[in-house]
Amino acid sequence: MEWRTSQIPVDYETALAVMERRVGGIHEDGLDELVWLLEHPPLYTAGTSAKVEDLLEPRFPVFDAGRGGQYTYHGPGQRIAYLMLNLKKRQQSPDIKKYIWQLEEWIIRTLAHFDVNGERREGRVGIWVVTPAGEKKIAAIGVRVRHWVAFHGISINVSPDLSHFDGIVPCGISEHGVTSLHDLGKNVEFKKLDEVLKSEFAPVFGRS
């Protein structure tokens, strides 16, 4: 099991290429699984369910992600975790729904360390928080699975420019907004967030 942290923003094409190589290596050659913590420069990604009308203003580059889900924004101030995991090794009976639940649980447990109550919502992917202005999304999830090796992963809004989300309908949901740890009054450093993500990983996904 390898953990990798990139200190400068990673181009999206580079990240996709790394994931593709590692997923193939895990399946064909038994390479170690990888959790990669990073940021991207400002960009939008389109999942396999993305609707053209949900791209309101393409002010940043738009990439076809190949993962499930719809449009998502990535940019500085957002912690992205790409997980390349062998579900056959980690689950007695490989189950994508269980894996999504585990990703949600990982985020919820991590946010709890910063006194933020992240919640699931039926029919809505991602993790949500209740604010005085209503429910808002604080973390997104998008995955792809090939030969039971999962890749792509999660993004947690730490301190991104929330106005950058205005160019899309995030995940196809227009009735609820987005928020961040900073927006909630939590000044969290990436280093501390990464430490918590690492500490909560094994309790949720097990040890390889």
pLDDT at 208: 67
CA–CA gap between residue 208 and residue 90 (Å, rounded): 7
Let me know if 168 is a catalytic residue: no
Q: What is the pLDDT of residue 68?
A: 83
Catalytic residue among 171, 173, 178, 197: 171
Q: Judge whether 40 and 12 are in contact, CB under 8 Å.
A: yes
The Cα 179–Cα 108 span in angstroms is: 15
Q: Flag residues of the chain having pLDDT under 70.
A: 172, 175, 208
Q: Could you give the domains of the chain? A: 2-205 (3.30.930.10)
pLDDT of residue 207: 82
Rounded to two decimals, the pTM is 0.96
Nearest to 22 by CA among 9, 35, 10, 11: 35
